[in-house]
Structure formats: C-alpha cells, structure tokens
Structure 1
C-alpha cells in the first residue's frame, strides 16, 4: 500500500506539473484576425524561462524598498492594466474595441495575482494582440501607399484629431482603416509642406512602415517583458524603471557621459523618438535649434547621406543611428510638437566635456537714472563635482568690481546633479544652516546643509529658474527663498522632488524611488516645484513638461518644518517690486517681443485638430510665418533696427528661433555672451529691491 500510495503521489506530482505547463505562457493565447486580414510574419511571443523569476525579484524590490507603499490588489491591477495598454497604444489607434473588452475581461483584476506568482501570461497575451494588430496596420498602410499617394484625398474639408489620448478605440477593422487613412493623409501633408515631391514622399513612407514591420517581426520576448515591466514600475511613479541588460548598458553609458553623440535624452512616445532633455554643453543644447517635446522623424549621416525614417523604429536602434564618432556629422529631421513645419538640424557629434557645463560669469550693465550700474550674472547649467568651488571663485572675482550692486544666479534649464554641491553652493550665500530635508520610505528624516564659517557673499541676490530647473536646482532656489535670502524670478520649476537608487537584479537592474526632498519650511518640492516670487511668461508649456505632466507622479505634501532663521524683508516689499516690474516691461521691447512670441507659440500647441486639406494647411503655415515676421519687425523697429525683408531673412537670423529655443540655449550665429531679456529684467528687479531696502532704512532712521 505504501508503494502504491507513493506511486500515486509521484503520478499526481507529474500530472500537476504537466497541468501547470499547459497553463504556462509556453502555450500562447490565440489572437483573432478580427477582420484585419492575416498578419504575415506574426509569430506569438512566449516568455523566456528566467522572466518569471525576474518578475518576482522586481515585485519584491518594489514592495520592500519603494517610497510609495503600494498594495497589490484589484485596484492596483486595474491601474496597471490601463498603464500597460497606454504604454503600447497611447494614441488609441492599434487595438480594436473588441480587443480591449476581451483583454479587460480576462486580466483587469488578475495582474496583481500574476505579479505575485511570477506569471507572465497576461503580459504576452496583451503584447501579442498589439503586435498582430500593428502588423495588420503596417501591411494595410504599405498596400495603400503602393496604390500611390495621389489616390489619397487631401483636398476635402476633413480634419484629424492629433490628440487621441482619450479617444475611443476603433470599433472594428473598417473604422480603424478610416482612422489610418486620415493618419496617412496627415503624414503626406506634413511631408509636402516640407517641399518633398511625390516620389520622395512615397519612398519615405514606404521606408517608415517597412522598417516598423521589420521591427515587429523581429520582436523578442524581452521587448514584451520590458514593456510590461515599464508599465508596472511606472504605476508606482514615473522615475522607477526596469532596465534589461541591454538598457542597463545604455543607461550606464549615459550616466558616465561616455556617449559620443548629440547630448540628448530621448524617450519613445506614440511611435516617435521624442526629446526629453538636452544635456548642457552637448551639441544639441549648443545648437539652440532643439527643445524638449521635439520629435525625430528621420536621421541622415554626414552632410549628404540619405535620410533613414525612424518613426516606429525601436528607440535603441534610433539612438544607434544618432551616435557616432566625435567630429562626424548627423542630420536630424525634426517635427516640432506644435505641428509647425518640419525642419532639418545638422549637428557635429562630440563628447560632452565638463568645461561645457561649468559655471560662468558676466556683467549686466544697466542705466539707472543716468548712471551705469553693474549687476553680476552667474550662469550654472548643472551641478557637477566642483560646482561650489567654481562659483566661489566667480563670486570673489565679481566682488572686486567696486560698482557691483548685486548678483543674479541663473539656474534656468539646470536639471540638477550632485546634491552635495548644491548644499555647498547654498552655503556660499548663507550661514551654516539646514538647506533640505530628506524623508525615506520608513518616515525617517535627515536634514542636510553646509557647514561653513559664514557666507562669502551676503549682498543682494536673485535666483532665476524655469520649468527645466529640477532637483538640486529646486533645492537651492527653495532654500534661498525660504530663508528670505534671495528673490526668485522666472517660471515654476519642474517639481522633481524624489530620490532614486539602483538595485541589481539577476539580469539587469531596477531604478526605484526611495525618498523625497522637503524644503526647510516642510513643503515638498515634489510635483509643485518652486513658485517664483515674480513670474515671467514661460516658453515651455507646464502641461507637457514637468513632474505634474507625468502619470503617477508622487503627490505634493509637507512634513514638520525644521528650525530656521527667516527674514520677511523681501516678502514685505513684493507689492512694490511687482508694480515696478509690470510698469517697466510694458515698455520693454525685448521683453514684450518674447512674450508675444510665446503667446503665438502657445496658440499653435493648444490646437488638437489639424486640417487634412493641403491648401488650407499651406495657408495656415503662411499666416503663421507672416505673424512671426510682423512681430519680429515690430520689435526691430522699436529697437532701432532695419526690418527683415522677408520671412527667409528672419528665419536665418537668431530671432527666427522659437521662444523655447531661445530659452533653452545659445542662438546660432549670435554672441554666446549675449544677455537675454529675462536676465536683464532680473537684474532690474534686483536693483528695485536694493533701492526699496534703502528707502525702508532711511524711513526707519527718520
């Protein structure tokens, strides 16, 4: 009997294991054609043997170490499911409504259980559905292009919704074909507006969809697993990421700045390689011709190499096309986020050197009641090792100027860096006091600052920030504002108030959020960033760039403030300073030109529908050019300059850059030391503050 019982247990064990195998992802779920035709070359993906174990490792790390204590339950499962669908089909043009309903019924409340068990059936079923639908679309598009783009109607009164984030999914394959016909028509119009002929357009679009089809047919299990894990980690917060071994290598290269390329951070969004950040000192930032949210649609090598269309191409392959030997040339065709005319940007690849990110000083010379007054300007692109030492030297050099009335510290576009340097920098302008609080996932709070023997500069100080001032920049600006040590000017900062760390996995690594930054006042810099005392019109739309624009960003909150000495002298004078600022900029031609161009650019980016009539689009483009030219010539006449003869002359000048480009970098062909309108106004506000202090003291003495 014992032998029989043992035999039955063995048989039961084998049967159980076999049953598990039958339920495993090795037997992929079938995906129906759904009226879209046969997807040639489609092969359903199945997970690699080790991916279930990696899944469990990631879940364990997040559950134990992430700042945000998330419960894996049905509510999280639904959030994760929606994030995964969004990750794959953000413009709602690939899946069909039946696909969404089928997948939702099966998995919307099952993903939490699969994560805990290391199962990936849902990951691959959803991805395989996406892959098959995408192949069907590309096959359809290639057939449609083969009929000739002249068969597309770009003369009717149709319009196309370019913002489909909340649009319904196509009900069936026929409705999807209608949507993609409009997509094709819009792509044709964009290329025609860029002066490409019919043959070149057909060649470019054929290449675009062929490349994408090739990528889809070469998709590997790691691609599906990475997309699934991206959606999972981003459901915690936008800065938590899973790096596969290949992505880990790229991340380490970028962190060490050993990349010889254009100096830009990219992300994949809706099939496009989109610029996220320009690295200070890199070719992209120096050019002054690129900005965050620009989309790269094609890459050409050298001065005359043929363009390779990269729409739909895997991001890592697009990056490989952009990288290259130092000194070599790469050409990028750029589609701006405001859907204005496509442009070509030529860059010379280079290695980013520390000197290109180093602090630099200038003198802003102002006429004040008939007398010249000097204000020091220190521009700091990033917090690198040695920042505080360099800034200290610059401040000491500025102090030698007997006519120095104050200092403006420009932290615009400074994405952060070494936290220790930020603490030391704050200590250059203040006594030894706390500068930031850091709270970890367990609620423990650490207070950091700079131990010093007193500031090296205690005179009038202004700090400039904008939407791309992040992390360490926000800590410095927030601390100087909280103490009443400096007036903060510009735009609301990014709102990156979290701390990440890298954790190794058996394969790859995970970057997860472990702590949050808090100001000495107890308020977090997370999500809301730092609000300036006086706001300048922002070229960058905060609804598109910034922490608050990212899904699942951790919320703003506050903790107990630390003890700190506070001066309310600046706060008491804010009414006077704001009135002076408003009255002055009303008559400042440079400032108003910048404001008017920002207003015009915002009008374009806020449009969510575009005409599918070529002549109407040409007329809109011509009208936009005319408006830009009129603004420029009004500005030139007000500043005593000859007006531009035509738009081409305007476009070729530094004034032809967009407001975003002007805010983000140097103007090509312009003096790199040119003081911009916002820096000049910041210096004037600082002088207003100095004069107001003097009046207050004189009134008190009287």
Structure 2
C-alpha cells in the first residue's frame, strides 16, 4: 500500500472513531419529513437533541423506575401506551398528523420507545415532534392564506356541522381531507367570534393574530420544547401527577407553589389549544370575582381597561400565563368561552398578591326556624389547609359554642384542594378523641398511620361536612375519616379523588415531581380515583366526567388495604333512609334549590353537545334560545320567591342575581361576602337539624335504664 493510501485509510479510521465517540449526525439526524401533498413548510427547521438531553432522559427513567409508586415494566406494551400518549400530547384533537404519518411512525416506533428509554436515546422523540411541527406549519400557513384571501369567501351559511370532540376521531387520510377538516374549523372559529358581535375587520385581525402567533412559535421551537413534550407523555404514562420540569418550568412551578404570583390566582392547563381553568386559588382575584369556574376557556387577554385583546387560542400556555400575570393593582381583561357553550363574556380583574388571610377559615351562622323555634347552625368555610388552620378553626368553634341557639356545625370543604397534611390531622382531632385519621402506603408496601394526639374534642355536637368535586387531597382525608367514624354526615357531591402523594426530586437540569405513596382511609379504602362519596348527594355543579381524578388519563386505581383499628358508630347510617326521604320532600318545594338544579341541568345539557352547526343564523338562533331558557328559569324563580320578573335578558344578565350555580358555589367565602348563604348550605343545615331531631326521637324511644 502506498504512503498516500495509508494516510487516507488512517484519516478515515480517525473520522469513524470520532463519530463513534461523539455520536455523528448520521446516527442522530432526524428523518426528513415528506411534504405529503400539503406544500412546503416555510420556516420549518428540523430539531435535533441538545448534547445533554440523552443524559437527562436516563436520569428521569432511573428516578421513575426506582422511586415511583407504580412499578412499570418498560416493555413493548408500555411502549405502545407511551407512543399513543405522545401523539395525544401533540395532537389531541387529531387534526394535524396525517394518517400516513401515523402509520409510518407507529411502524417505526410503537415498540421501540421502551428500548430508547433504556438506552437514553431520543431519536423517536424528535422524529415524531418534527413531523408534528412540519404538519402544523403547513396547515397554519394554509389557514392564514385562507384568512388573508378574505373571510367573506368562507361559507358560514351552509347546513354542515362540526364535531368539536375529536379525541377519538381518525386522523385525516391525506392533505386534502385535512384541509376540509380545517375549513370547518375556520368556519366554527369565525362563527364564534361573530357571535361575540365582532365585525369582519376585527374577526380577521383576531384570526390572523391567532395563526401568526402559532407559526411564530412553531418556527422558533427549540430542542427543549420537543424534549419536554416527550417527557410529559412519558411521565404521564405513569400517572397524571408525575411531571418533568425543565429549568424554565421549574421556576414557574416554584412561583406557583409559593403563591408569590401577582396575577389572577388560577391554575390553567392546555386543553385542545385552549388555556382552560382547572382551579381557582382561594383568595385570588379570579375566585373573588365569582365569575369564573373550572373548564372555562380563556380565548383572549387585554391589558388595562382599554388595551387591545391578544388572541391566545393555540398560544403556548406559559406565554398565555405571562400575559395574565402582572403587577399588583394592575388590570387585566379576559375573554371567556364558557364550557356550556353559552355566549362568551369579558371579565375584568385587578391583579393582586394572594395573602394567607384570604384563605383563612371563616364562620357564619345560618338562621332557621323549626317548630316555631329559632335555631342556629354554625357554618365554617375552609378554602385550604394552611399552617395554622386547626388553631383558627378551634377559635371559631369556641366562638360558635357560645351561641345558646346553636344546634350543630357545618364544615364546608367545597373547593378546598388540600394543603398541609399535619393541619388536616389536627382538624380531625378537633371533633374526635385521639384517633388515627389516615394511612399512607409507600412504593415498598410499608404502611404508616397518622392521626392527632389531643385531650379530647373541642366540639362534640352534631356535625356535617360539605364536599364537592373540587374537594381534594387533605379535604378528602378529613371528610373520609369523619365519615368512617360515623362522626359526621357528609353532604354534597363526590370529591376529586386525589389520593396520591408527590415529591420533588432534583435532576442535573430541572427537576421531577413523582408519585411516591397513596392515601388510605382508616377503613382501608383508598381516596384515590373514587374520592369520598357523600351520604346524601346534591347535584354536582362541576361535571365529574371533565374534572376529577377519574377524568385524568392513567390515574392510579382505587384499591383497599387492611383497615386500622378505629371506633365506629352506625347511628348516622341507620338514619340515612329517613334523612334522604325528608331531604327529597323538602327540596321538591324549595325554589332556591330547584332553581339551582335547573340551571345546572341546562348548563350540563349545553356542555355535552359534541357537534355544532356551521350556519351563523342557526347558531344565533340557538344562542337566543339558550338566553330565553335562562331568562324563563330566572323569572320562574323570582315569581316563586315573590319578586318582580326581569323585563329582558339584558336586565337578567346585569342583575346581581345573575350568579350561576357554579359561580355561587365557587365564590362562597372567596367573594368576600360571608353573609350570602347558598342553597346547598341552607339545605345542609336543614339536614343537620333533621339528624338532631332523629337522634332525640331515638333517645326518647329508648327504655329508661334500670
């Protein structure tokens, strides 16, 4: 071999060795994404992993395999589940990927993701994300071209319908079928904006802004965006409360957990391109307004009292949050699309810092009359479990006990999302002797029993606990313990079902929040998934199919463990049949309660519609019909309560009485109007009085002791 040939061979060997050590582009470069008949994607650049993301991948896999409560085997079955979760993470409404994309990606990666996780590889993560990114740019470009050609050329007078629930729909077969789908999507968006009384110029402006924002974000996407979406799908395949936080998301999470957020006080999630409200933080401007509720969708954000609205549909959630956040005392306006598909509304809020005092327990007195006698029922509303909760409630109980007409106490835990577990233990101890309150089982199967050590209850009289779908975690522990002991009657609707314990673990970059344990009641029943079922149910304001643990994918299952030793009284259980009968008979003639139920049913009926007309005149007629139904219900209620009916819908809308059942319930205590007792609180007081009378009747029926 000549010297020149030897040098060439040596050079090739060195190059190959270098590529083998560092991972050459040929090993990690993403596959090219075909145009597939949808035209070029202007500004599209394929993303490639950062140098450290394979290492972070391995860290996350190790932490989940070693520390997560749910012991998952990384095999082909998990790979398929993870693959589907990643597709849903990117394209939950199945309108971006083409069927050919799905077939290709499924064939290549459906059984490969578990192997890539084990090896710390992210090839699939980026190939799938790049396919999504290119397809999204293509369809957004197409939509923007349609809008710029004139929305008057888009037909909103035909008799077609649009399926707004596409979670289980097939992906479009090809580019033409996808354009037909998005034509309907555009028509629906135009109709929605026109129903808000916007003219063509403003509708065009909003839509251009919407799609231009999306294109800008897609073209500026970074490797961390693909990696985070991939890891979200992976962690959520274990359970819905396990999350990966990149360094940027870690900072946001820390801000939210410490409640140092100067904004509106709301937890949001991205749902089908919308920023959807999940929870209102007690004491925050959103909760105090009484005009917002979970599942409401934010469509636009305006700064100040007159600033132009920025359309946020399709915007990244963190960017939407940045628009909503701001300095204390400043004003933000939100355009809201209600979940019941009623007319959109604009809500004006003044940003504020959430203070502990805004979440503090508060007492009221519900005044009733029974058999010609004045009777008082104490009401303690507790929006969260903060440090000092038990001491505050203890003082309130002591104050209530001074009332000579006090017949019982209601503990209202509606909308209480939990908090300090130790305070929940102490709170239970205010009503009981020293007893266990909760069991906690870790990933190794070890069970710890927690409770409160005290010198006896502060209050041992008749007790009711109110719950709803937003009562979660520590609230469920308290309600479940008092129910298991037979110490209190639980009233309201099924709780959230958040029966898991999370912990934060650091990574070399960012952190991971993972589930390490589960809560169990003293009876051995888990609060996970099923939550606490009330003894007497009130119609739920929040749709349990949309909010709650059972509505989340991959929620850990309900199960049982061995019960702990605990004292039990069946006195309440023995009286439930009688109490339910009296409850049904009473509310049948209670105009406030019936009005509340009818409003709930009307909203539920609207929110469960999965198809909408693409004819503007039809939609206007449907909106007018909904307004008329609401007005008819309101006027029937006013007639039943001896008040003058509203002249028209506008008068009804502007009235202070135009509080929907959700607004009424969600604003209890949080609105700063403690004297407003809602229909469910009043009925809870009546049930508690029924219970007291039943106890007395039972005692009088017992033979005298010898």
Q: Same fold by TM (over 0.5)?
A: yes
- Residue 446 of structure 1 corresponds to 448
Specify whether residues 672 and 185 from structure 1 end up closer, same or farther in structure 2 by C-alpha distance, changes over 3 A only: farther
Structure 1 residue 359: deviation in Å? 0.3
Q: How does 1:247-326 map to 2 (within 5 A)?
A: 247-326=249-328
Specify whether residues 250 and 24 from structure 1 end up closer, same or farther in structure 2 by C-alpha distance, changes over 3 A only: farther
Q: How does 1:230-629 map to 2 (within 5 A)?
A: 230-629=232-631
Alpha-carbon displacement from aligned partner over 1:423-475 (angstroms, at most 9, x marks no partner): 00000000000000000000000000000000010000000000000000000
- Residue 106 of structure 1 corresponds to 108
Q: Given the alignment of the two structures, is residue 57 of structure 1 paired with residue 50 of structure 2, yes or no?
A: no
* SS of equivalent residue, structure 1 residue 701: coil
Structure 1 residue 649: deviation in Å? 1.0
Give the TM-score, by structure 2 length: 0.97
Mapped to 1, the partners of 2:195 and 2:576 lie a distance apart of: 48
Mapped to 1, the partners of 2:21 and 2:396 lie a distance apart of: 72
Query: Would the aligned equivalents of 1:299 and 1:321 in 2 still touch at CA under 8 Å?
Result: yes
Q: How does 1:120-135 map to 2 (within 5 A)?
A: 120-135=122-137
Query: Would the aligned equivalents of 1:287 and 1:666 in 2 still touch at CA under 8 Å?
Result: no
Moved more, 364-373 or 23-32: 23-32
Structure 2 regions of 5+ residues with no counterpart? 1-5
Mapped to 2, the partners of 1:195 and 1:520 lie a distance apart of: 56
- Residue 30 of structure 1 corresponds to 32
Q: Pairwise CA RMSD of aligned residues?
A: 1.7
Structure 1 residue 673: deviation in Å? 2.1
Structure 1 residue 602: deviation in Å? 0.8
Query: Would the aligned equivalents of 1:80 and 1:231 in 2 still touch at CA under 8 Å?
Result: yes
Structure 1 residue 20: deviation in Å? 7.6
Query: Would the aligned equivalents of 2:276 and 2:295 in 1 still touch at CA under 8 Å?
Result: yes
Mapped to 1, the partners of 2:27 and 2:189 lie a distance apart of: 38
- Residue 695 of structure 1 corresponds to 697
Mapped to 2, the partners of 1:89 and 1:661 lie a distance apart of: 32
Query: Would the aligned equivalents of 2:358 and 2:670 in 1 still touch at CA under 8 Å?
Result: no
* SS of equivalent residue, structure 1 residue 395: helix
Structure 1 residue 21: deviation in Å? 2.8
Structure 1 residue 143: deviation in Å? 0.4
Q: Which of 90, 93, 98 in structure 1 is aligned with 2:92? A: 90
Query: Would the aligned equivalents of 2:290 and 2:671 in 1 still touch at CA under 8 Å?
Result: no
Structure 1 residue 338: deviation in Å? 2.1
Structure 1 residue 660: deviation in Å? 1.8
Number of residue pairs the alignment of both structures matches? 697
Structure 1 residue 312: deviation in Å? 1.3
- Residue 3 of structure 2 corresponds to none
Structure 1 residue 293: deviation in Å? 1.1
* SS of equivalent residue, structure 1 residue 442: coil
* SS of equivalent residue, structure 1 residue 392: helix
Give the TM-score, by structure 1 length: 0.97
Structure 1 residue 671: deviation in Å? 4.3
Mapped to 2, the partners of 1:11 and 1:94 lie a distance apart of: 44
* SS of equivalent residue, structure 2 residue 635: helix
Q: How does 1:171-250 map to 2 (within 5 A)?
A: 171-250=173-252
Structure 1 residue 585: deviation in Å? 0.3
Moved more, 144-153 or 20-29: 20-29
Query: Would the aligned equivalents of 1:293 and 1:337 in 2 still touch at CA under 8 Å?
Result: yes
Mapped to 1, the partners of 2:396 and 2:15 lie a distance apart of: 75
Alpha-carbon displacement from aligned partner over 1:307-351 (angstroms, at most 9, x marks no partner): 111111111111111111100000011111222211111000000
Mapped to 1, the partners of 2:232 and 2:625 lie a distance apart of: 42
- Residue 165 of structure 2 corresponds to 163
Structure 1 residue 19: deviation in Å? 8.9
Mapped to 1, the partners of 2:330 and 2:445 lie a distance apart of: 50
Structure 1 residue 358: deviation in Å? 0.3
Moved more, 338-347 or 584-593: 338-347
* SS of equivalent residue, structure 1 residue 510: strand
Structure 1 residue 545: deviation in Å? 0.2
